[in-house]
Amino acid sequence: MENYTASNTAIYLIQYHIIWTPKYKRCMLVDELKNRLQQIIEEVCYENAFIIKALEIMPDHIHLFIGASPKMAPYKIVKALKGRTSHILREEFKELLKMPTLWSGSYFISTIGNVSAKTIQQYIEKQWKK
């Protein structure tokens, strides 16, 4: 049985699989940029009480599997992640300022329901093994 979270008014298990890409799907999420991106994602998740179940940063996209509160709308989760990471990375890596925007305007988000959380986690972890 999954680990449910309890608040004063609810018991819940809300999990999302989120994928987003750099603008023009550039293969740039490597080395120092990748490491810093992971740190920022972890900070944003900690500050917003999102529970990271799995995180994989590929050169041209990010897979994030998280648990979240029902008080946070899915689009706000993505906005918090993409907004903060873009702001900080563009400040710290000046070469990113050449791009009009760091992230593509689109993203994929899915609730976890039809497949088990373990299946999603294994899929994300196997991305590098292809």
What residues pair up with 54 in beta bridges, in sequence order? 65
Check: CB of residue 65 under 8 Å from CB of residue 17. Answer: yes
| Cα Rg of the chain, angstroms | 15
Choose among 9, 54, 57: nearest CA to 31.
57
Given the residues 16, 24, 107, 123, the one annotated as active site:
123
123 is catalytic: yes
The residues assigned a catalytic role are 123
